[in-house]
Amino acid sequence: MAATSIRTLKPNVSQNEALRKFSSIGLGAIYRHIRVGPLRRIAGVYVPFFLYRVSYQLGRAPQTRFFAIDAVEGSLDLFEFPGAPGDSQLLEVETRNYLRPALSEKRAEELLSDKVLRVIFQQGFFKLRESNLVGARVPIDFYLPYWLAFYGDETARCRVMDAVRRRIEGAKASAFFEQWLAA
């Protein structure tokens, strides 16, 4: 695949910081080394996201929030933004390590509705009068950066770090990227 220019949210984790995190020493690292093997390398990868402005009624107060859902299969965690990302938060990157959007807008809206309801319920579902979410796609295309760490001798396994939220993702994200790499 040829390198392409994409717009991505600025990462909050450098390659060196990600390498330090993935190669940290501790009981978890020892267990991972025994179970899947040593750290072989890390790589940055970019995932496309759709941004939506979601409005709903919570109690008597109208709410408007901005959520982004991955445009590949909608399985990654939602991102929430205080507003649509502006040019100062985005940068152009030349890369071959990016996933292509594969999710239809209709399916993205269905998944987004379910995920947003879960977020609202965690904050106090008893205040939600009706599940009348109104989502409108914001016409901005962008990618979110992730760091992948590859472990193993014979079979490569990966761990995933969200390069914006600075956190290691779970098994769902690892399976998402391993499936992409196998395709």
Report the distance separating Cα 32 and Cα 34, nearest Å: 5
- Give the pLDDT band of residue 131 (cuts 50, 70, 90): low
Residue 125 has pLDDT above 60, yes or no: no
Amino acid at position 175, single letter? A
Indicate whether 166 belongs to any domain: yes
pLDDT at 154 over 90: no
pLDDT tens-digit map of 49-89? 999 999 987 777 788 999 999 999 999 999 999 999 999 99
Task: Determine the average pLDDT of the residues in 32-46.
Answer: 82
Helix (H, G, I), strand (E, B) or coil at 1: coil
How many domains does the structure of the chain reveal? 1
118: in domain: no
Confidence of residue 124 (pLDDT cuts 50, 70, 90): low
164 in any annotated domain:
yes
Residue 113 falls inside a structural domain = no
Share of residues in the chain with pLDDT > 90 (%): 61
pLDDT the model gives residue 115: 92
Residues contacting 60, CB < 8 A, separation 6+: none
107 within domain boundaries:
no
**Is residue 121 included in any domain, yes or no?**
no
Q: Where are the alpha helices (DSSP H) in the chain?
A: 15-22, 27-36, 105-122, 171-182
Residue 116 within any structural domain of the chain: no
pTM score: 0.88
Question: For residue 108, is pLDDT > 90?
Answer: yes
Domain of residue 84: give its range.
4-51+66-101+140-182
Q: Is-contact 36 178, C-beta < 8 A?
A: no
d(CA 109, CA 95): 28
